[in-house]
Amino acid sequence: MRKRELLLHKSTKAIHSGGLKKSVFGEVSVPIFQSSTFSFSDADDGASRFAGEQEGYIYTRMGNPTTRSLEDCIATLENGYAGMATSSGMAAATTVFLALLDRNAHIISTASVYGPTRMVLEREFSRYGVRSTFVDTSNLANIEAALKAPETRMIFIETPANPTISITDIFATAEIARKHDLLLVVDNTFASPYLQRPIEHGADITVHSLTKFLNGHSDVVGGMIVTKNETLFNKIKPVLNLFGATMDPHQAWLVLRGVRTLPLRVEKAQENAIKLSQYLLQHSEVAWVNYPGLTEHPQHKVAKRQMDGFGAMISFGVKNGFEGGKVLMNNVQLFTLAVSLGGVESLIEHPASMTHASVPKEEREEAGILDELVRISVGCEDFNDLRDDLDQALNKIP
């Protein structure tokens, strides 16, 4: 990390963080080093690189200058020690689990966490003896009640949570983790480091799906792990390299390009989201709205304390339940019916039948993912167009 970056505002960091230590030809944009392997000047040079005694690149699965630029950029934005770019957001989460959870370990997680994150813990890691407890982590008492000494090793929270948009107090959860000598991992995808930096609030590790706000254009799949210190980095990095879930340099370059406009995109999308949440709150076909920027949101004060803004994700319940949601999905014209989030275009989806369909209904409902719940990722279009599209579609609900 360059020292001058510590003095820069977050919008400036998004544009200038991450880059080569020494340019090749004075280029302004980081080049794409599309090379699978890197040569050594002599045998001693190769031996010292493999031994970790000398900096330098060996093989792109283990490290690449373009990928390193992205890793440095996101670590700077998160105010963490170092970043590790992965092939997807799920690769980031599973690599953390692989590196830090042993057989018979226990993990506590947000109940309404991203569906595949819950699935991989329940279906795959359980085969190797890892046990998981999923609770509403917005209520700190639930975390305390779920502790299983001495098996519990990690608390994994997603805040804002997917798709309920519930908020977990990062600082208070970190205090619980420290008290019991646990690791706190935060999925920071929904906020991005532009709006929230969990390490500043006591988290040990943050993970991201770079696919979402950080890339911002719905054209790249990628993930990132950021650790608060060198010790955790040294535990995770070898596992990432061995399992091969690392990122391709062209993929990294595209994400780095997207990060440069992160402040502009998030500010515009957030502005739209605030207005849309207020509009939805008054609509006759809407039963309830969850958006952290609304004073009605149960964790509004927590969000205001730990976030720089309330983001661009909204969940709301439509009247007539599942059928009402289906009518809405089938009648939007400007909103794109698709999963994912964080792009410049606005997306709409129905979690009970899409992203969380594989989670048993009873577990979904316990996590607050009701059949009536609709999730929208608000983009950068004109607010009036977005409002009018939702209005005409909602008015078709019988």
Active site residues: 61, 114, 187, 212
* CA distance linking residue 190 with residue 199, whole number of Å: 16
Q: Which residues pair with 227 in a beta bridge?
A: 82, 205
Residue type, 164: T
Phi then psi dihedrals of residue 20, to 5 deg: -75, 145
Measured distance between the N- and C-terminal CA atoms of the chain, rounded to whole angstroms? 57
Q: In which order are the strands placed within the sheet that holds 313-318?
A: 286-290, 313-318, 373-377, 347-349, 336-337
Burial category of 140 from C-beta neighbours within 10 Å (exposed 0-12, middle 13-18, buried 19 and up): middle
Exposure class string for 24-39: b at 16+ Cβ within 10 A, else e: eeeeeebebbeeeebe
> Alpha helix locations (H) across 79-202?
89-100, 115-119, 140-146, 170-179, 192-195
Residue type, 67: T
Q: What is the DSSP letter of 148?
A: -
- Regarding beta strands 336-337 and 313-318, do their DSSP bridges make them parallel or antiparallel, or are they unpaired? unpaired
Q: What 3-state DSSP class applies to 295?
A: coil
Q: Which residues pair with 337 in a beta bridge?
A: 348
- DSSP output for 113-139: S-HHHHHIIIIIGGGGT-EEEEE-TTS
23 CB-near residues (< 8 Å, 6+ apart): none
Q: What is the DSSP letter of 246?
A: B
Tokens of 116: 């595949």
Tokens of 290: 């969850």
Residue for token digits 């000047």?
Answer: 41
* CA distance linking residue 192 with residue 207, whole number of Å: 10
